[in-house]
Copies of this chain bind each other. A is one copy, B any other.
Amino acid sequence: MNNPELQQRLRAVSQLAAFNNWLGLQVDEVSSGAVQLSLPWRAEMGQYAGFMHAGIQGALIDTACGFAAATLSGQVLASQYTVRCLRPAVGEHFRVVAKVIKPGRQQIFAAAELYATRNGEETLVACGDVLLVPQAQQKTESELQG
C-alpha cells in the first residue's frame, strides 16, 4: 500500500518543519489520503505526571492529518483541530495513523488515531480530527489580509 514517491515527498516536507525534526517524526507509510507516522518517546515530551504532553499528542494528530491531506492537495494549513485524550499517553513508542474523511477543493476533513506501545502492548490513547485548507487559497487570503 505504501507509495514510495509520496513518502519521499512527505519526508522532504517534514524535514522543513523544525518542530517535526525535534519530535523525531518518521514517515512510515503513505498512500493516497492516508499516512502512518511514528516516533520514539523522549522524556522532554512529558507533562507534569510524565505522560506525553497533550500538546504533543495534538502536534502528532495535526501533523498526520496534514500529511494525509497533502497527499491529495499539496500544501495545506490546519484551520481547526480537536484532540480527545482517551487514556494516559504512556509508552516507549508512539504511532499515529491519519486518513482523509472528506476531500474538497476548499476544505479537507481528516481524522487520526494515536497509539502508544508500552511493554510491547499497543493501546489507543487519543484520537482527533482536523479541518484543513489547501494552501494556495489560504495564501491568497493572507495576501488579502495584508
Contact = CB atoms under 8 A, between A and B. Distances in A.
Interface of A: 13-14, 16-22, 43-49, 53-56, 58-60, 62-63, 75, 77-88, 101-102, 104-107, 109, 127, 129, 131, 133, 137-138, 140-142, 144-145
Contacts of A101: 84, 86, 127
Given A80-B82, A101-B86, A141-B106, A45 B19 contact: yes
Max chain B CB contacts within 10 Å: which of A14, A77, A85?
Answer: A85
A45 B23 CA distance: 10
A102 to B, nearest CB: 4
Per assembly, the copies of the chain total: 4
B62 A54 contact: yes
A74 B13 CA distance: 37
Given A16-B48, A19-B56, A58-B81, 10 more contacts: A18-B44, A20-B48, A20-B53, A21-B44, A22-B44, A78-B83, A80-B80, A105-B144, A107-B107, A129-B129
